[in-house]
Amino acid sequence: MQDITNKIRELISNINENSDIKERNYKVTTDIAELFDNLPKQIFAKDQVSLVLSEDTYLELGGSEKPSCRVLVPVENSNDINDGRISLIGPDLTEFKSKEMVLPFSQIIFIHSLREMNPDLYRKMKIHLSVFNILKGFMIRAVPRKFWIRISEELIDFGFDLELLGKTLIFHLKKKFLEIEGIEIVFITTAEEKIKDLEKISKNIQELYSETKIRKKLKEIEAAQVSSGSEEDKKRFECDYEWSCSECDYNDICNEIIDIIKKMREYKKQNK
């Protein structure tokens, strides 16, 4: 894992060296109570999924037009992470004067955990990041293998920038995962080709923390024997996407497939 982390750090350094707008760094508290006190409460969505329609969109990050990726990087040594640092390479959101811009985007989160990082914890953290719907006017679109964000004009007018996004992400993660001891975030809004390289490197992390096929099959068998548990947990079992069912564009299709599978099982039972 250390080799992968070093490659990502080197790539970030290379992007910064070749960028017209050099890296900007912000140091913020990672104490949950202090973070909450410092965050503007009027931008929180209050128990509702934030929906941003195309006509209300001011900026899009990534998606179908520009390369994008989000990378969660487990860091084994606490000395290798700058806790509370938020870095930006490239222009910030508030620096664009024209509407309907689409930017390349990379979100890299370095995490040092008191608990040993394992496939289950890594997956839970990634899913939690995928249901980041706590801001009004900020929407993560559920599109396979794409990191696509829509930001409303109202949120930009409020002064929403990537430092504030970083603070909110830190709060979102540390509130859920108390074992996080160190967290550092890097945003990149330039260097499209380098973002593609970063996406390739990130796949190595996915492979490292993905479950083996045998282990996954054993868990499937175990799940089939357990009658309790939420329907969403059961539905998600063979799903590789990171977001929750409630935010997925393919939810209706999944429901149809599940209904078909149930009918097939009932038919087999009746015709034994």
Mean pLDDT, each 10-residue run in order, the chain (272 residues): 91 91 93 94 78 90 89 93 97 85 94 91 89 86 80 93 96 94 96 92 85 54 54 51 58 70 75 68
Q: What pLDDT is stored for residue 160 in this prediction?
A: 95
Q: What pLDDT is stored for residue 109 in this prediction?
A: 97
**Same domain, yes or no, for 222 and 174?**
no
C-alpha 24/C-alpha 4 separation (Å) is 24
**Same domain, yes or no, for 215 and 203?**
no
Distances (CA, A) of 19 to 13, 22, 141, 159, 197: 10, 6, 28, 24, 16
**Same domain, yes or no, for 112 and 229?**
no
The total number of structural domains that make up the chain: 2
Q: What pLDDT is stored for residue 184 in this prediction?
A: 98
Q: What pLDDT is stored for residue 234 in this prediction?
A: 46
Q: What pLDDT is stored for residue 220 in this prediction?
A: 62
**Same domain, yes or no, for 203 and 221?**
no
Choose one of 210, 234, 262: the last residue of a domain: 210
**Same domain, yes or no, for 25 and 104?**
yes
**Same domain, yes or no, for 141 and 240?**
no
**Same domain, yes or no, for 155 and 83?**
yes
Choose one of 195, 210, 225: the last residue of a domain: 210
Choose one of 179, 210, 241: the last residue of a domain: 210
* Of 153, 199, 185, 155, residue with least CA distance to 56: 153
**Same domain, yes or no, for 108 and 176?**
yes
The pTM for the full model equals 0.78
Q: What pLDDT is stored for residue 127 in this prediction?
A: 86
Domain holding 70, by residue range, is: 2-210
**Same domain, yes or no, for 45 and 96?**
yes
C-alpha 216/C-alpha 212 separation (Å) is 6
Instruction: Give CA torsion, residues 31, 32, 38, 42, to 10 deg.
Output: 170
**Same domain, yes or no, for 206 and 226?**
no
**Same domain, yes or no, for 237 and 189?**
no
